[in-house]
Structure formats: C-alpha cells, structure tokens
C-alpha cells in the first residue's frame, strides 16, 4: 500500500456544518468505509491495497440529508503521485557538476519505505540551464543511479537544475523538484597553493618524526642507562702483555710456601694399597 490521500472541494451547502463519507470497493466486495462523517475535505486512503483497480465514492451529509455519490476509480500503484527527489549539487572541476539524488521515501504506519519497495525500475530525469537565459538552452539528462556527473559546462557560470523520478515500467513521471542554482568552478586549483599544502604536510610529518625519536631516546635513557669504565681501567685492559709481565715479576720477587697436591682415584684394592705406601713416603716441603 502507498501513502495516498484523497482530497476534494468543499460543498456549497449553506444550511450548516457538512460532513463527508468516503467508501471503496473492488469488483468482488461491497463498499467499505474509509472515512465516515468527517468535517475535513480530505481522507487518508492508504489502507487500500497497492495493487489492483478500486472504486471510490464520496458524498456530503447534513443531518438526515445526503448528496449523490461521486464515483471514481483508483489504481494506487499507478495513480499515486510521486513527489520530487532531494537534489544536492557539488561543483568539482571547471565546467563539471556532481549531482547527488535521493529518492523520496514513503512513511506508512511509522515505518519508512523506499520507492524501490514498490517500484523496481526507478530512473531520474534532469533539466539544467544557464541562469537568466531562455529555455532553448535547456540540457536534458537521464540518470539511472542517484549519482550523476554533468560535464561540458562553461567554467565560472551559474547553472540551475531540477529533477524528477521516472518509473520506466509504467512510463510514469513524478513531480519536478524546485530549481537549484550553483556556479561552476572557474579554473583548476592553484599549483602554488597545492605546493604550499604539500610542503606544510611534509614539514608537519618531519616534526612528528623528530618528536618520536626524542621521546624514544628519553625513554631509553631513563629505563636503560648506559655505564662506562673509567679511562685508566680501559688503558690497563688494553695492554694484556704488560699486565702479564707485571704479574709474573711480582710473583718471582716473593718466596711462597706451598704444599704438594696429588689427585688420586680408587680403582682397585691393589691400587689403594700402593697409593697408601706412596702417600706415607711423601714429605711436605716448605
């Protein structure tokens, strides 16, 4: 079902407040009330199924008096008026416009539906013209999608555009949107400005790298400090031959008392006895 409203002109009956009753039926059913004894001159008929042919009738009523029924036929899927799409225009390159379209939505029972929930082949028709010029210079554009690029326009010129929905299967068009006017860009971006932006980005990147290195060095110094030996230790250890001779001379200049040390291993009882005899003959030297 579609969000449909039936509207009519008020009755010229002058005796009092007139009410209205609206009914519908298909070819197999009896008439069913859609709105009964209302004072407004419109009735929401969205409860009618979207597909099929239906008969509507409406009459005016005052107390016990009624007017004649006014009859009409209604095909919700085909007769519903399609409201305009939302249009957004963005100038990009010189003489080029990017057009963003948004198809109208349908709100039924608090739920938002897309037109594609009812119509499967939706296209868009657009008209574009230079502002303050006659209609002979209108350019017609067809867009199968909601994004369309219009090129070949004059740079630095104001153009106006309007759009409508087109249902290809039914050869049905919706209402035109209001005209949106915008000026195309005059020239390509300034190379000097682009170079300035690139240099600014490069300088900022270099600054960030330097900051990261400094922070890393500070963290490394705080948690992993480096220690170095005194200089005279480094010079002494760098001359191993001199150090060996010095130690040897120091050892030769002094008399040292020492004991004779023999390392023995037990292999058998015979070896043990021999070793005991040798040990008894060893004299300690001082």
Region of poorest pLDDT, from 10-14, 30-34, 90-94, 255-259 = 255-259
Distance CA 2, CA 163 (A): 22
Region of poorest pLDDT, from 107-116, 139-148, 151-160, 161-170 = 107-116
Q: Is the pLDDT of residue 59 over 60?
A: yes
Averaged pLDDT, 54-59? 93
| Residue 229 pLDDT grade (very low, low, confident, very high; cuts 50, 70, 90) | low
Distance CA 277, CA 265 (A): 15
Distance CA 196, CA 190 (A): 10
Please state, as a whole number, how many other Cβ atoms lie within 10 Å of the Cβ of residue 101. 19
Distance CA 139, CA 129 (A): 6
CB-based contact 11:40 (threshold 8 Å): no
- Name the percent of the chain lying above pLDDT 90: 30
Averaged pLDDT, 27-48? 89
What pLDDT is attached to residue 176? Answer: 94
Please state, as a whole number, how many other Cβ atoms lie within 10 Å of the Cβ of residue 281. 6
Who has greater pLDDT, 67 or 222?
Answer: 67
Please state, as a whole number, how many other Cβ atoms lie within 10 Å of the Cβ of residue 105. 13
Who has greater pLDDT, 95 or 15?
Answer: 95
Averaged pLDDT, 57-85? 88
Distance CA 17, CA 21 (A): 14
What pLDDT is attached to residue 279? Answer: 60
């Amino acid at each position: 079902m579609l969000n449909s409203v039936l509207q009519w002109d008020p009755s010229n009956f002058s005796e009092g407040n007139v009410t209205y009753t609206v009914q519908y039926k298909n070819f197999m059913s009896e008439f069913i009330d859609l709105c009964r004894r209302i004072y407004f001159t419109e009735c929401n008929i969205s409860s009618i199924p979207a597909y099929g042919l239906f008969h509507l009738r409406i009459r005016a009523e005052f107390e016990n008096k009624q007017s004649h029924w006014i009859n009409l036929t209604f095909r919700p899927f085909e007769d519903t008026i399609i409201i305009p799409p939302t249009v957004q225009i963005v100038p990009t390159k010189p003489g080029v416009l990017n057009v963003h379209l948004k198809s109208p939505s349908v709100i039924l029972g608090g739920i938002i539906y897309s037109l594609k929930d009812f119509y499967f082949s939706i296209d868009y028709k657009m008209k574009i013209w230079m502002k303050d010029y006659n209609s002979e210079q209108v350019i017609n554009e067809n867009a199968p999608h909601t994004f369309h690029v219009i090129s070949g326009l004059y740079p630095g010129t104001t153009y106006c555009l309007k759009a409508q929905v087109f249902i290809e299967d039914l050869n049905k068009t919706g209402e035109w949107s209001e005209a949106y006017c915008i000026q195309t860009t005059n020239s390509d971006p300034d190379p000097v400005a682009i170079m300035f932006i690139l240099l600014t980005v490069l300088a900022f990147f270099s600054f960030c790298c330097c900051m990261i290195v400094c922070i890393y060095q500070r963290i490394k110094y705080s948690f992993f400090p480096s220690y170095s030996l005194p200089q005279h230790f480094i010079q002494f250890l760098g001359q191993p031959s001199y150090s060996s001779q010095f130690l040897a001379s120091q050892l030769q200049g002094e008399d040292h008392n020492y004991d004779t040390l023999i390392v023995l291993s037990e292999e058998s009882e015979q070896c043990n006895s021999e070793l005991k005899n040798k040990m008894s003959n060893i004299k300690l030297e001082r």
